């Protein structure tokens, strides 16, 4: 679980509810099913019209996914440098067959790294390996960020459907002014709460999910570019220290890998 995400979301709800309770103890006045249905239902309906259902389903899954732990951390980047430097030493000592044997387990765990190491083993040059890996990185990033575009579309539509709920509420209120004044409150509640629900749905749930999803995909993309650099140099049979320095140039100095400080095996 992503503890910072859970804390941030919980804190925002706590502050919102605390503000309401500070003003009134009758918090039930902020609950109106019609307003919620208009905002959430309208937003989902418009999104299904604009995008294919399978992409919408994937986008909604990203909202749930932000509460899980990220796939990539800073320490993992240092480990990627260490792994490719170790492979460089292995190739110097025992040749390409030793690399193929050592990398077998990695291929099943990481499809990108498996594809890259296969290119190296197949004998492609460094520029060829870099070109093919960069193609895969960019196309994968574009595919994985389609849900981000959908979530941003939903976030832009939710306040609009909140305004639609407001207009409907005002129509109900005006229609009731002459015949049944007791319905004025219900009409006004739908109107005002619709706007509130639209803004909250967009800014508390959908837009943060889009931004976090994009950030996580960008981190994975950065990691893959780092690995692509290392594998292309490995394909060119560059020495381990050169590979270390080239890959470290991508990283914050505080997480640089140092051959001289690495444990000896």
Residues 6+ apart with CB under 8 A from 258: 244
CB 164 within 8 A of CB 42: yes
Residue 114: inside a domain: yes
Confidence of residue 46 (pLDDT cuts 50, 70, 90): very high
Per-residue pLDDT at 169 exceeds 90: no
Domain match, 183 and 209 both: yes
Q: How confident is the model over 74-104, as pLDDT tens digits?
A: 889 999 999 999 999 999 898 888 888 888 8
Instruction: Supply the angle between the helices 207-235 and 74-94 in degrees, to the nearest 10.
Output: 20
CB 242 within 8 A of CB 85: no
Domain match, 83 and 210 both: no
Residue 1: inside a domain: no
Rounded mean pLDDT of the chain? 88
Residue 23: inside a domain: no
Tokens of 58: 């994937």
The pTM is what?
0.85
Number of domains in the chain: 2
Domain match, 89 and 130 both: yes
Domain match, 163 and 187 both: yes
CB 209 within 8 A of CB 63: yes
Query: Which pLDDT value is given to residue 98?
Result: 86
Domain match, 60 and 157 both: yes
Domain match, 121 and 225 both: yes
Domain match, 136 and 50 both: no
Residue 16: inside a domain: no
Domain match, 194 and 88 both: no
Q: How confident is the model over 209-223, as pLDDT tens digits?
A: 999 999 999 999 999
What average pLDDT does the segment 233-245 reach?
A: 94
Tokens of 197: 């629900």
In angstroms, the CA 73 to CA 71 distance is 7
Domain match, 120 and 224 both: yes
Residue 13: inside a domain: no
Residue 9: inside a domain: no
Range of the domain at 185: 33-68+147-216
């Amino acid at each position: 679980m992503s503890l910072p995400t859970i804390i941030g979301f919980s804190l925002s709800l706590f502050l919102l509810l605390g503000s309401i309770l500070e003003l009134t103890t009758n918090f039930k006045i902020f609950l109106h099913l019609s307003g919620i249905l208009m905002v959430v239902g309208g937003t989902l309906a418009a999104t299904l019209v604009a995008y294919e259902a399978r992409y919408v389903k994937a986008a909604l899954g990203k909202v749930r996914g932000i509460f899980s732990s990220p796939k990539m951390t800073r320490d993992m980047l240092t480990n990627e440098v260490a792994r490719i430097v170790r492979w460089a030493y292995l190739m110097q000592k025992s040749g390409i067959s030793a690399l193929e044997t050592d990398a077998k387990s990695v291929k099943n765990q990481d499809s990108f790294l498996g594809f890259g190491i296969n290119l190296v083993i197949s004998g492609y040059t460094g520029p060829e390996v870099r070109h093919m890996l960069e193609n895969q990185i960019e196309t994968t990033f574009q595919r994985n960020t389609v849900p981000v575009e959908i979530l941003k579309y939903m976030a832009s539509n939710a306040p609009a459907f909140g305004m639609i709920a407001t207009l409907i509420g005002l129509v109900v209120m005006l229609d009731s002014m002459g015949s049944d004044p007791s319905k004025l409150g219900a009409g006004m509640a739908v109107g005002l709460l619709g706007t509130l629900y639209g803004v909250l749905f967009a800014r508390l749930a959908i837009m943060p999910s889009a931004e976090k999803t994009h950030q996580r995909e960008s981190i994975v993309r950065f990691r893959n570019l780092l690995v692509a650099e290392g594998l292309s140099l490995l394909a060119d049979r560059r020495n381990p220290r050169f590979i270390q320095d080239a890959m470290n140039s991508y990283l914050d100095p505080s997480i640089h890998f140092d051959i001289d400080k690495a444990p000896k095996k």
